[in-house]
Amino acid sequence: MANELAVGDKAPDFNLPSSTGEKISLKSLKGKTVILFFYPRDNTPGCTKEACGFRDALPRFKKISVAVLGVSNDSLESHKKFIDQFGLTFPLLSDEDHAVSEKYGVYKEKNLYGKIYWGIERSTFVIDPEGKLKGIFRKVKVDNHIEEVLDSLK
């Protein structure tokens, strides 16, 4: 595992297939503030609530020129169904080999009802226009998270 990322560090670059049909890289977003939120699975209650929260707040993010991207280990096909079902209006990136999740230190051993498995720990990263980490939210609780992220941009 990589060392824990800290505010002020250069954000790890990524270049992932997206629901828009093209690859999206951090380099391609240089000059923009980026919200990169990692979530465990498409179509699960917490992830749906979080993604819909970002969807509903998107006009507020766009007003301040912030790009929002969701990342999970799900396939593009799964992302497409998730987007269609909930009318999501921002790209979802597919990190099926979890290489980017590992770079960001969010791919972790988890325990659900005594079952140990590897997966994404819900986390959000705010990346400034120069590619540096401006905000890091780990072990995110969905309630009020969008407001936390918006406050960090002030």
Digit-coded pLDDT (tens) for 42-75 = 988 889 999 999 999 999 999 999 999 999 999 9
Catalytic member of 26, 36, 47, 126: 47
Domain that residue 137 falls in: 15-152
CA distances from residue 17 to 23, 31, 95, 103, 108 in whole angstroms, order as listed: 4, 21, 8, 16, 22
Residue 6 lies in a domain: no
The set of residues, in sequence order, having a beta carbon less than 8 Å from that of 30 and lying 6+ positions away, is 129, 130, 131
pTM score > 0.75 for this model? Answer: yes
pLDDT at residue 110 tops 90: no
- How many domains, in total, are found in the chain? 1
Name the β-bridge partners of 10: 132
Known catalytic residue at 47: yes
Taking residues 87-94, report their average pLDDT. 96
Residue 16: per-residue pLDDT: 97
52 SS3 class = helix
CA-derived radius of gyration, the chain? 14
Specify if 2 maps to a domain.
no
Report which of 85, 50, 43 is spatially closest to residue 69, judged by C-alpha positions.
50
7 domain-assigned: no
pLDDT digits (tens, 9 = 90+) for 128-142: 999 999 999 999 988
Task: Read off the pLDDT band of 2 (50, 70, 90).
Answer: very low
